[in-house]
Amino acid sequence: MTDPTAAPTTDPQPVPASGPTDEPARRRRLSPGRALAWLFMILVILATLFPFYWMLRTALSSNNALYSGSTDLLPVGFSTGGFERVFGSQTGEEAIAAGGSGASIPFWRYLFNSVVVATLVTAGQTFFSAMAAYAFARLRWRHREKVFAFFLAGLMIPAIFTFLPNFVLIKQLGLIDTLLGVALPTMFMTPFAVFFLRQFFLGLSREVEEAALVDGASKVRVFFQLVLPMSVAPVTTLAILTYMTAWNDYFWPLMVSYTDASRVLTVGLGVFKSQAPQTGPDWAGLMAATLVAALPMLLLFGVFAKRIVNSIGFSGIK
């Protein structure tokens, strides 16, 4: 009996390559036109990145100093107070004196909730979508194409349209204000994920799979030990994109969460903002909170940048 995993996993890369990327390096010299184009690109990058720098600079400033209207590019009245207020390590009086609201913000709780929700959604959606995609791509059963067409029709329904009725449903299920309630509607599938993975599975060479079947491997085994390992790249890309989408989601969690028990970071950030003290917003604290909310995705991007950047275009449009 042969081990199916020992089969050569020659990845056929059915993904349409992004065309000829080896554009000849013509006109290396810096013509005035090229210089102008570079200047434009530098401005674009500056406009892209400056807000992030400004967020960091503000977060490390003292809020009272910010109100003096300083436009210094470096933090004014350098202070980590903003972060301390976010993580609740300042006492109420200290926070109020520093320009905060004095109310405590369970930011670790929000962070934890975001991780749980995004993980549940990503793991469930990717795995279940892959299973369905395999059934649509490889298994033989009656009405397969009709059922698939029905799934595809789901692409026509914007998720936003389902929010109100889904809220009613989640309420009936008694899952309002729970993490499961936030995660549940997207935990099983999205039509896009099923479609995307089915396309990939269809492009895999059948020979390896058929050899394993002839050797007596079951189709379940072929899926787990052959098809999934051969599809690590697209599955990972899909999972990363799903994680980011779930992490950045705001509207649905806003509907379902009422208390800190189920608030995710995006929603918590909104709560933090609405607790602005009478004297004016605690900008240092707000920017520290915003930075903390954005950081996990920026780190994830740092690790997977190449994969994410290259996924745009071939993965189609999401």
Partner 1 sequence: MSSPSPARTGSTPRPAPPDDTKLALLFIAPAALGFLVFLVWPTVRGIYLSFTRFNLLRPAEFVGVDNYTRMFADPVFWNALWVTLQYVVLNIGFQTILALVIAVMMQRLTQSTWLRGLILTPYLVSNVVAAMLFLWILDYQLGFGQVVLESIGLERIPFLGSADWAIPTIAFINTWRHVGYTALLIFAGLQTIPETVYEAARMDGSSEVSTFLRITVPLLRPILALGLIITVVGSFQVFDTVAVATQGGPVNATRVLQFYIYDLAFGRFQFGYASALSVALLLVLMAVTFVQYRLTRADSTDLD
Considering only residues 72-101, where is the footprint of partner 1 by CB under 8 A?
none
Q: From the CB of 1, what's the least distance to partner 1, in Å?
A: 10
The reply on whether position 113 binds partner 1 by CB under 8 A is no
- The single residue among 103, 239, 254, 271 that binds partner 1, judged by CB under 8 A, is 254
User: How far does Cα 141 stand from its chain's mean position?
Assistant: 34
Residue closer to partner 1 by CB (options 6, 93) is 6
β-bridge partners, 313:
316
Binding status of residue 24 toward partner 1 by CB under 8 A: yes
Interface residue with partner 1, options 146, 214, 259, 278 (CB under 8 A): 214
- Cβ-based neighbours of 148, under 8 Å, separated by 6 or more: 136, 198
> What whole-number distance in Å separates Cα of residue 274 and Cα of residue 285?
12
Nearer to partner 1, 78 or 92 (CB): 78
Q: How far apart are CA 194 and CA 258, in angstroms?
A: 32
Question: Which window, 5-13, 16-24, 79-87, 92-100, contacts partner 1 (CB under 8 A)?
Answer: 16-24
Output the CA angle 243-268-297, nearest 5 degrees: 30
Using CB under 8 A as the binding rule, whether residue 288 contacts partner 1 is answered as no
Q: Please, which residue, 20 or 93, has the CB nearer to partner 1?
A: 20
Tell the smallest beta-carbon distance from residue 250 to partner 1 (Å). 5
Q: Is 273 in the site for partner 1 (CB under 8 A)?
A: yes
Residues 6+ apart with CB under 8 A from 61: 75, 76, 77, 78, 79, 82, 284
Q: Does 32 bind partner 1 (CB under 8 A)?
A: no
> Which two tokens mark 292?
């903390």
The SS3 assignment for 25 reads coil
* Binding test (CB under 8 A) with partner 1, winner from 8, 28, 29, 33: 33
Give the Cα separation of 141 and 205 in Å (integer). 20
- Of residues 157, 232, 261, 303, which one binds partner 1 by CB under 8 A? 157
